[in-house]
């Protein structure tokens, strides 16, 4: 059987690789890209079969760029998973903790270790495009004063050493990932999941109470919202797209009625997928 | 009369300085800080009188960090303004367009000039903490292959040359700024504005329909929402704070009733300020 090709953003060892393992097991071939739009582009072009994409973090919030891509590339959500984020201070073998002056990582990771940096004011934070990529880079450069912040797996892949474990400020640190297919290739839904979620995006006319009326389509049928997110509408300053997640499956009769009602009051509506709720 | 001290993030010449001019005229003394939390910290400590802070951009969306700071530092919104964002390619005098290989700017600015970079593939995008700071840096370093993307004012302040004007992809590019005071120092509201806005933040219990009930407090009184934004709640994964802007003034009887009703259904509610609507 041909291995499924799964695109991720970031070098091997990024948290996206752990998400791909949770979603697809060890059978998928993980293919790294530098930017998110490149992953979505490769999916559209058929160069990969699926994409594993971070959507929100419990501390940093949504990855807004990816919400925009969900709409602009014609994808469908097939699954979600949550990855616990543990940040480690990682350096090439031989580098001593007390010599470290520069610490490279993704800005979100650097911002999640503020207490560590407050305790070690000699260490300068340097933004890098990716956590695992920062480990790869410090291993290549081999400066005696440079370290990276990344996952345990990244340290192991690149043969680097963990100098301090779990330096993140807050242990309630999870990132939610989606498994995405091209819309036409999305697999049929199985019926094994206990609970389902549906994600959709809509716009409303810019009139008083428009969002309230849109949400009433769900609330009047006891459909439970789990997230609402607004994004600016291009070309229409101060108007917004709304991304909504709720509990329930697209083909549940109650949800079907809610979606029909929502379609009446929305200017634009697209269902992005129904998928089993992550743990 | 003592000049009002206004804190901004970014070097002099940043778009925040233009916002400060729109909000305070030319009389205020603008004091630059490197990070947003430093501006808020200086306001709390009384080292500055007001802060001028970007909250959202019509293309990039909200500056989420600052929504968190609105709540964590005890501030009040006294005014808003919108600044039209024009990006220019800026280099030290003598640098030739065809020699440019590295272009430094804030990641948001770099991402707003994607068509320019697609036409000039030899130019590498390099992230810098600030647009105006990138101009200052290329003027100090004086490399013959480096340029920055920033405002016209930044070029003029640092004596740099504009090589290409208005290279942003989309002209509908505005950033919305707040003028912030310490809560106890916020000025009394004048009554001259034609239209007012109020900003508030609330949480709901995590039960079906909770957000719908909260919004009904506004919708049932024809209070017109202009923005809703969710932010993750620290320590409670997958629960959210909601930031809402609506048209109307806190002491308008209709708004007072809506706020009373909202307080009944919300777990937590704080009004962040009422202020004249920006043009």
Task: Please tell me whether residues A79 and A203 are part of one structural domain.
Answer: no
Whether residue A79 is found in the same domain as residue A11: yes
Query: Average pLDDT in the B238-264 region?
Result: 93
Q: What are phi and psi of B195, to 5 degrees?
A: -135, 140
Interface of B with A in 108-147 (CB under 8 A): 127
Domain-located, residue A191: no
Spot the catalytic one: A81, A131, A175, A203: A175
- The average pLDDT across B193-204 equals 92
Domain count, chain A: 3
- Identify whether residues A179 and A63 lie together within a single domain: yes
Q: Cα-atom radius of gyration of chain A, to the nearest Å?
A: 21
What is the model's pLDDT at position A239?
Answer: 82
A1 to chain B nearest CA, in Å? 37
Contacts of A245 in chain B (CB under 8 A): none
d(CA B124, CA B3): 42
**Inside any domain, residue B191:** no
Of the candidates A110, A106, A84, A87, the residue with the CA atom closest to the CA atom of residue A174:
A84
**Predicted TM-score (pTM) of this structure:** 0.83
Whether residue B131 sits in one domain with residue B253? no
Residue B33 φ then ψ, to 5°: -130, 155
For residues A44 and A177, state if they share a domain.
yes
∠ CA(A222), CA(A223), CA(A225), 5° rounding? 125
| Closest Cα in chain B, distance from residue A170 (Å) | 8
A171 CB neighbours in chain B (<8 A) are: none
Best probe of the B interface among A36, A207, A230, A236, by most B CBs < 10 A, is: A230
Task: Tell me if A241 is assigned to some domain.
Answer: yes
Active-site choice (A33, A117, A177, A202): A177
Chain A nearest CA to B27, separation (Å): 30
Q: Which residues in A lie closer than 8 A to residue B236 (C-beta atoms)?
A: 172
Task: For residues A227 and B107, give the distance between their C-alpha atoms in angstroms, rounded to a whole number.
Answer: 27
A40 CB burial (10 A radius; 0-12, 13-18, 19+): buried
Q: Which residue of B has its CA nearest to A176?
A: B238
Residue A75 lies in a domain: yes
What is the pLDDT confidence band of residue A210, given thresholds at 50, 70 and 90?
Answer: confident
Q: What is the ipTM of this complex?
A: 0.76
Backbone angles phi, psi at A164, to 5 degrees: -140, 130
User: What is each CA distance from A58 to A61, A84, B147, B233, in whole angstroms?
Assistant: 6, 10, 37, 7
Looking at the fold, whether A61 and A101 belong to one and the same domain comes out as no
A265: helix, strand or coil = helix
Backbone angles phi, psi at A201, to 5 degrees: -135, 140
If contacts are CB pairs under 8 Å, which of residues 180-209 in chain B contact chain A?
208-209
Co-location of A178 and A71 in the same domain: yes
pLDDT at A190: 64
For residue B24, what are the domain limits?
5-84+173-183
Confidence class for position B157, pLDDT limits 50, 70, 90: very high
User: What is the Cα–Cα distance from A247 to A255, expressed in whole angstroms?
Assistant: 9
Q: How far is B233 from chain A (nearest CA, A)?
A: 7
Q: Is the domain of A92 the same as that of A70?
A: no
Put simply, the answer to whether B227 touches A230 (Cβ < 8 Å) is: yes
- Cβ contact (<8 Å) for A212 and B230? no
- Assess A156–B contact: CB distance below 8 Å, yes or no: no
How far is residue B79's CA from residue B189's CA, in Å, rounded to a whole number? 10
Q: B151 with B129, same domain?
A: yes
CATH number at residue A117: 3.40.190.10
Q: How confident is the model at residue A207 (pLDDT cuts 50, 70, 90)?
A: confident
A240 contact B CB<8A:
yes
Q: Which of A208, A217, A244 to mutate to test the interface with B (most CBs of B within 10 A)?
A: A208
Q: Chain B partners of A212 at a C-beta cutoff of 8 Å? A: 212, 215-216, 218-219, 225
- Same domain for B93 and B60, yes or no, is no
On whether residue A29 sits in a domain, the answer given is yes
CB–CB contact B59 A234 (8 Å): yes
On whether any CB of chain B is under 8 Å from the CB of A38, the answer is: no
Q: Which long-range contacts (CB under 8 A, 24 or more apart) does B63-71 make?
A: B63/B36, B64/A60, B64/A61, B64/B231, B65/B36, B65/B37, B66/B36, B67/B229, B67/B231, B67/B243, B68/B231, B69/B36, B69/B37, B69/B40, B70/B178, B70/B180, B70/B199, B70/B201, B70/B243, B70/B272, B71/B201, B71/B241, B71/B270
- A93 and A157 together in one domain: yes
Q: Is A246 a catalytic residue?
A: no
Query: Residue A203 catalytic?
Result: no
How high is the pLDDT of residue B62? 85
- Contact residues on chain A for B208, CB-CB shorter than 8 A: 219, 222-225
3-state secondary structure B26-83: CCCEEEEECCHHHHHHHHHCCCCCEEEEEEEECCCEECHHHHHHHHHCCEEEEEEEEE
Q: Centre a 10 Å sphere on the Cβ of residue B73 and count the other Cβ atoms it contains.
A: 17
Whether chain A has a CB inside 8 Å of the CB on B235: the answer is yes
Cβ proximity of B38 and B157 under 8 Å: no
Per-residue H/E/C for A118-165: HHCCCCEEEECCCHHHHHHHHHHHCCCCEEEEECHHHHHHHCCEEEEC
Q: Which of B36, B40, B116, B175 is catalytic?
A: B175
State residue B189's pLDDT score: 65
Q: How many residues does chain B have?
A: 279
Residue A64, min C-alpha distance to chain B (Å): 8
Domain with A227 in it: what CATH number? 3.30.70.260
Q: What is the pLDDT of residue B279?
A: 77
Q: Mean pLDDT across chain A, nearest whole number?
A: 92
- Residue A243, SS3? strand
Q: What is the mean pLDDT of residues A240-250?
A: 92
With contacts defined as CB-CB under 8 Å, which chain B residues touch A211?
A: 215, 225, 228
Residue A235 lies in a domain: yes
Q: Is the pLDDT of residue B191 over 70?
A: no
Closest CA to B82 of B195, B176, B18: B176
Q: What is the pLDDT of residues B104-136, one digit of tens each?
A: 998 889 989 999 999 999 999 988 888 999 999
Do A81 and A93 lie in one domain? The reply is no
Q: Which chain A residues are Cβ-neighbours of B240 within 8 angstroms?
A: 227-228
Report the chain B residue with the minimal C-alpha distance to residue A206.
B226
The answer to the question of residue A155 being in a domain is yes
B58: contact with A, CB 8 A cutoff: yes
Whether the per-residue pLDDT at A1 is higher than 80: the answer is no
Distance linking the first and last C-alpha atoms of chain A: 29
Please check whether residue B33 lies inside any domain of the structure: yes
Q: Quick check: B151 pLDDT over 90?
A: yes
């Amino acid at each position: 059987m041909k291995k499924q090709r799964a695109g991720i953003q970031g070098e091997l060892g990024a948290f996206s690789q752990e998400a791909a393992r949770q979603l697809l097991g060890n059978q998928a071939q993980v293919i790294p890209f530098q930017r998110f739009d490149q992953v979505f582009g490769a999916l559209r072009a058929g160069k990969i079969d699926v994409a594993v994409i971070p959507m929100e973090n419990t501390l940093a919030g949504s990855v807004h760029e990816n919400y925009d891509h969900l709409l602009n590339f014609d994808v469908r959500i097939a699954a979600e998973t949550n990855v616990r984020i543990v940040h480690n201070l990682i350096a090439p073998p031989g580098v001593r903790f007390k010599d470290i002056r520069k610490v490279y990582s993704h800005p979100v990771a650097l911002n999640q270790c503020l207490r560590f940096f407050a305790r070690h004011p000699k260490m300068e934070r340097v933004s890098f495009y990716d956590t695992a990529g920062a480990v790869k880079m410090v291993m290549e450069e081999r400066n005696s004063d440079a370290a990276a912040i990344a996952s345990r797996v990244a340290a192991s892949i690149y043969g680097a050493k963990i100098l301090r474990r779990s330096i993140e400020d807050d242990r309630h640190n999870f990132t939610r990932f989606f498994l995405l297919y091209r819309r036409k290739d999305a697999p049929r839904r199985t019926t094994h999941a206990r609970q389902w979620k549906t994600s959709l995006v809509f716009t409303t006319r810019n009139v008083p109470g428009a969002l309230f009326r849109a949400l009433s389509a769900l609330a009047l049928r006891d459909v439970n919202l789990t997230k609402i997110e607004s994004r600016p509408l291009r070309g229409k300053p101060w108007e917004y797209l709304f991304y909504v997640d709720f509990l329930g499956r697209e083909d549940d009769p109650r949800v079907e009625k809610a979606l029909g009602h929502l379609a009446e009051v929305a200017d634009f509506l697209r269902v992005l997928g129904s998928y089993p709720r992550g743990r």
